[in-house]
Amino acid sequence: MKNKNEKTSAMKNKILAASISLFAQKGFDGASVSEIAKLAGVNKALIYYYFKNKNDILESLFNDLLQSIQQIAADFANNRKQLLNGSSMPELIDGKLVFNDAEAKEQFIKITKAFYETLVYAMIEQRKLIRILMIESLKYNSKDKHLFKIATLQPDFFGGSDMEQLVNYLMEFYGSKKTRFYLFFHSLVPVFSFAAFYDKFRAIYDSGDEEMVKEFLLVNDLQLRSFIEWNSRIADQQS
Amino acid sequence: MKNKNEKTSAMKNKILAASISLFAQKGFDGASVSEIAKLAGVNKALIYYYFKNKNDILESLFNDLLQSIQQIAADFANNRKQLLNGSSMPELIDGKLVFNDAEAKEQFIKITKAFYETLVYAMIEQRKLIRILMIESLKYNSKDKHLFKIATLQPDFFGGSDMEQLVNYLMEFYGSKKTRFYLFFHSLVPVFSFAAFYDKFRAIYDSGDEEMVKEFLLVNDLQLRSFIEWNSRIADQQS
Amino acid sequence: MKNKNEKTSAMKNKILAASISLFAQKGFDGASVSEIAKLAGVNKALIYYYFKNKNDILESLFNDLLQSIQQIAADFANNRKQLLNGSSMPELIDGKLVFNDAEAKEQFIKITKAFYETLVYAMIEQRKLIRILMIESLKYNSKDKHLFKIATLQPDFFGGSDMEQLVNYLMEFYGSKKTRFYLFFHSLVPVFSFAAFYDKFRAIYDSGDEEMVKEFLLVNDLQLRSFIEWNSRIADQQS
Amino acid sequence: MKNKNEKTSAMKNKILAASISLFAQKGFDGASVSEIAKLAGVNKALIYYYFKNKNDILESLFNDLLQSIQQIAADFANNRKQLLNGSSMPELIDGKLVFNDAEAKEQFIKITKAFYETLVYAMIEQRKLIRILMIESLKYNSKDKHLFKIATLQPDFFGGSDMEQLVNYLMEFYGSKKTRFYLFFHSLVPVFSFAAFYDKFRAIYDSGDEEMVKEFLLVNDLQLRSFIEWNSRIADQQS
DNA sequence: AATGAATGAGTATTCATTCAT
DNA sequence: AATGAATGAATACTCATTCAT
């Protein structure tokens, strides 16, 4: 029975699940360890058997989230080749995307959309965690850098996967302060906010699940095109 | 003696200022009444003289924020006529914006941008409060509805100002679920996030003040145009 | 009613008294803040109103003890003149006490005994605190230096009293490592131990109060004489 | 198979060693079972396999200490004859030591010093345990009687060794309340304190090992003589 | 208007100890 | 003999709030 690491202990998972629920409801500071224990149905002291303190629970959750996002990126990178099928990626010339031809541009949009879609669905699935991450990231003196770790796709984010080419590509791209800025406020923050406010919005506006997501993706499609246009503009300014 | 309300007592203002600082740093739950008293330089018990409990401080802050946003909207409404100078607003036909001519469209974009710019600068000025509002709004069981009050420009939001016409116009517009959705996730949330993450982003990416704001507004300009395009599309779908 | 500092608040004193009792019974770590509160008849939180943490109570007690010992030393110094009446103090020559004549020696012994007696009675009165001090000083990683502060009669121990002459005299005397050593293990430690074990010894051997003290002082008398003999010996070795 | 008791299991010894270190550093209450387990490098539950509870560890340590002191006394008793070689012990008449002649007195002093020296070196070796014993004995409600067991040389202290004669002799001697008192405060407590404060004193006064011990023994020599003088005095009073 | 003192309920965390294996 | 998991009760400390003045 080597599945010692695999099961991670049922109790520990119950603690993590309860923590997610409560942190998402009340924030990290608003939820108490006692509550978590009660909801998880475990003894309070057991929490300190598995985690060195309350903050360590949060850290553990965020690390899981980081890893799952890394996984999405890695999976996507590995499948990219077949998505591209023949077409080439745009060249990056001084931070400006240069496409070989119109078809290459459409192909680029298509695979970017595919990635975005995958990401959005994953974020929705993890929306409670996203909510927690946003709450804690907004506090100014939070030492937490998790949101920014994700936002900036730091190199250590990607292990030895064969997606190095893409990462290098993105890194060069992100190197432009303006691009990083754009992606943070106009791409990452909206996706995260969408996930974070998902339940609240649905409850208040009574939207159907599928409808909401489709709508969101449609807009992102438009925004992607507007980004490409913006990119050519700022690149022009830089040159 | 209306100046009683105006000065609101120096002590009370010190309490409010200290609360903003601490809530923005640590969130509502993370900041304690004792800390607030110490930072404000007042006796803890005095806080309970001015506010009925800790939550009442938050409520008071949010109401101030709401009012200041209302004021911006009202000021804008009052000045709108001279901005329009001759051109007419688009007609709303089944949620679709219909412009008389190209110039009317440009004029619409211009005054919308002007409003947006005013709003963004105001939000930056109040960024600590925005941060607090976002933190508290993200918590799922927060009874708070403030963010959504703002988001939906509810009628009670606007006192007896002469901007009724605009409000009615917007209301009709917002009536479309899809529009409301669009505006929430692609207009309001980005502006609020921009204000909320302003300091953090600046600290990490070392961006200059003016630069950041200009960049943000430029993108919003592009997005506004993409919204108009989107609007015509969804309107087509509805019909 | 300016006696604000004088009364130090009845509640605070109750807390201190309860702390002494419990620390003396169970040691610092063995006594809990809850117990102290219960014994003192005050709310637990009030303890943290007056003291910043549990350790601060101990610190406060030790400082009081230090001050009371300082007071004894100061009082004695101020009265010394009339005790000496005519006779002179011995000279210190290379750490060796040199007396003018036999009478001067007896006089020295007499006033030293008088000081010792005063000290012993004071220590008995404060025996609980002495017990606490010894317990905590014995722990090796105790950051506490209180016992050694007392033991070494550090200069800052004596304020601006007119006993400077005596202090300087003692300091010169203490300068000898061997003397400091002698006084620590053969003078201070026995007095402190006597006070610390006073109650236990009485309970087990059923000794009368007065009898015990007299006996102890008699032995100290003999030891003082043996010290003087020892002093002349070690001084001889040093020369 | 008596070597079962002898080796006592390596694990058990590791636990005992760790306990000594930690109790000596922080006192019994200040050290936790978890810490002990960690320092010993064993599983916490194993401690409860070897000891019935935390207190049982302490009890076990104290019993070892008692036994080792007994051993010193027994060894000494067994070697006494050859030390005496010819001279006789003093007679005890009404608690007063009566010597046959001057040489007998010197011989008594010599063998007493020899015993003392052996004891002091043994105590220094066991100084951590002594420290623990003193800390716990000082607490007033400690049920522990170990220090007093040692102090009073209770009969059950000595098994069936051939030292019965000496023990009986001492018992008669100790019978005098005043003697018992003298020995406790002026002989036992200083030796124990010397061992207990040994490390602290060395650290603060930066004394060399050998130097300190020699100095201490020299003083004890003087005190022994002063004790004999004192003994003749009190004996006079009793008669 | 402003404060020092006081409180009950709660916080995170650690404790000694036990149990199943 | 040895361990990982589990627990109930306690720990030091803080909280929001109140009260008398």
Which string of DSSP letters, residue by residue, matches C110-173? Answer: HHHHHHHHHHHHHHHHTHHHHHHHHHHHHSTT----HHHHHHTT-GGGS-S-TTHHHHHHHHHH
Q: Are B185 and A197 in contact (CB under 8 A)?
A: yes
Residue D15 exposed, middle or buried by CB count within 10 Å (0-12, 13-18, 19+): buried
Structure-block tokens of residue C109? 């012994």
- The answer to whether the CB atoms of D226 and C230 lie below 8 A apart is no
Nearest partner of B10 among B65, B48, B44, B50, judged by Cα: B50
Q: B204 to chain A nearest CA, in Å?
A: 9
Q: Is A183 on the interface with B (CB under 8 A)?
A: no
The pLDDT assigned to A147 comes to: 79
Q: Does B156 touch chain A (CB under 8 A)?
A: no
The lowest-confidence range among B216-230, D43-57, D146-160 is D146-160
A129 neighbors A20 (Cβ within 8 angstroms): yes
Strand F nucleotides below 7 A of a protein CB? 1-20
Residue in C with minimal Cα distance to D176: C205
CA angle D189, D194, D195 (to 5 degrees): 105
Token pair 């003196």 is at which residue? A141
Per the DSSP assignment, residues forming a β-bridge with D65 are none
Pick A32 or A181 by higher pLDDT.
A32
Contacts of D208 (CB under 8 A, 6+ apart): none
Six-digit token pair at B144? 């708070």
In D44-197 the beta strands, taken as DSSP E runs, fall at: 91-93, 96-98
pTM greater than the 0.85 cutoff: yes
Closest by CA to A200, choosing from A39, A69, A24, A58, is: A24
- The residue type found at C178 is K
Query: Nearest residue of B to residue A213 by CA position?
Result: B181
* Tokens of residue A177, six digits: 């302060």
Tell me the average pLDDT across C85-105. 73
Mean pLDDT of A102-125: 86
pLDDT band at D175; cut points 50, 70, 90: low
Output the distance from A32 CA to E10 C1' rounded to whole Å: 10
**Strand residue runs (E) in B64-167:** 91-93, 96-98
Residue B185 DSSP one-character state: I
Q: Which nucleotide is nearest to B46 (CA to C1')?
A: E2
Q: For the residues D12-35, what does the mean pLDDT come to?
A: 97
Task: Residue D67: name the closest of D57, D79, D75 by CA.
Answer: D75
Is the predicted pLDDT of residue D65 greater than 70, yes or no?
yes
Distance D80 CA to E13 C1' (A): 58
The residues facing D96 across adjacent strands are D93
Indicate if the pLDDT at residue A7 is higher than 60.
no
Residue type, B33: V
- For chain D, the average pLDDT equals 80
- Distance of CA A30 to CAs A136, C173, D65, Å? 12, 63, 53
Using CA atoms, how far apart are residues B44 and C213, in angstroms rounded to an integer? Answer: 53
Closest residue by Cα to the C1' atom of nucleotide E18?
A: D45
Least confident among A129-138, B111-120, B161-170, D218-227: B161-170
Average pLDDT over chain A, rounded to an integer:
80
- Yes or no, beta carbons of B230 and A219 under 8 Å apart: yes
Distance, CA of A84 to CA of A165 (rounded, Å): 14
Taking residue A101's Cβ as centre, other Cβ atoms within 10 Å add up to 10
Distance CA A145, CA A45 (A): 29
Residue D209: pLDDT over 70 = yes
Q: How far is CA D237 from CA B100, C81, C224, D94, in A?
A: 127, 35, 21, 11
Give the pLDDT of residue A6. 47
- CATH number, domain B1-51: 1.10.10.60
Inter-chain residue contact A189 with B189, CB threshold 8 Å = yes
Task: Tell whether B225 is within 8 A of chain A (Cβ).
Answer: yes
Average of per-residue pLDDT across A53-80:
87
Q: What is the mean pLDDT of residues C37-43?
A: 97
Nucleotides of E under 7 A from a protein CB: 1-20
CA C156, C157, C160, C166 torsion-angle sign: negative
Mean pLDDT of A191-217: 85
Q: Give residue A237's pLDDT band: very low, low, confident or very high (50, 70, 90).
A: low
Is D189–C193 a contact, with Cβ atoms under 8 angstroms apart? yes
Mean pLDDT across A168-182? 65
The tens digit of pLDDT for each residue in C183-193 reads: 778 778 888 99
**Is residue D161 predicted with pLDDT exceeding 50?**
no
- pLDDT score at A152: 63
Residue D6 vs residues A168, D71, D119: alpha-carbon distances, Å: 67, 16, 24
pLDDT tops 90 at residue D23: yes
Identify the top-confidence range among A211-225, B117-131, D103-117, D156-170.
Answer: B117-131
Instruction: Report CA Rg, chain C.
Output: 20
Long-range contacts of A30-38 (CB under 8 A, 24+ apart): A30/B29, A30/B139
d(CA C83, CA C76): 10
CA distance D65 to D150: 10
The set of residues, in sequence order, having a beta carbon less than 8 Å from that of B100 and lying 6+ positions away, is B87, B88, B90
> Residue A234: what pLDDT?
57
Q: Are D185 and C216 in contact (CB under 8 A)?
A: yes
- Whether B185 has its CB under 8 Å from any CB of chain A: the answer is yes
Below-50 pLDDT ranges, chain B: 1-4, 158-163, 238-239
C196 touches chain D (CB under 8 A): yes
pLDDT of residue D1: 41
In this predicted model, what pLDDT tens digit does every residue of A139-157 receive, in sequence order? 987 666 787 777 665 555 5
The partner residues of B98 in beta bridges, in order of sequence, read B91
Question: Per-residue pLDDT tens for C52-66?
Answer: 999 999 999 999 998
* Predicted pLDDT at A159: 47
**Per-residue pLDDT, B126:** 95
CA nearest to C206 within chain D: D177
Q: pLDDT tens for residues C163-221?
A: 445 555 655 655 566 777 777 787 788 889 999 999 888 877 777 778 889 888 888 88
Under 8 Å CB pairs connecting chains A and B tally to 132
D106-127: per-residue pLDDT in tens?
888 888 888 889 889 999 999 9
Which residue in chain A is spatially nearest to B177 when comparing CA positions? A205
As a rounded value in angstroms, the CA-to-C1' distance for B8 and E3 is 20
Q: What percent of chain A has pLDDT over 70?
A: 76
Residues whose CB is less than 8 angstroms from the CB of residue A28 and which lie 6 or more positions away in sequence, other chains included: A54, A58, A132, A135, A136
Would you call D204 and C148 a contact, using CB atoms and an 8 Å cutoff?
yes
User: Given D139, D189, D201, which is nearest C190 (Cβ)?
Assistant: D189
- pLDDT: is C228 or D94 the higher one? C228
Q: What pLDDT is stored for residue B35 in this prediction?
A: 98
Find chain D residues with C-beta within 8 A of C199's C-beta: 140
**Per-residue model confidence (pLDDT) at position D50:** 97
Asked if B189's CB is within 8 angstroms of A197's CB, the reply is yes
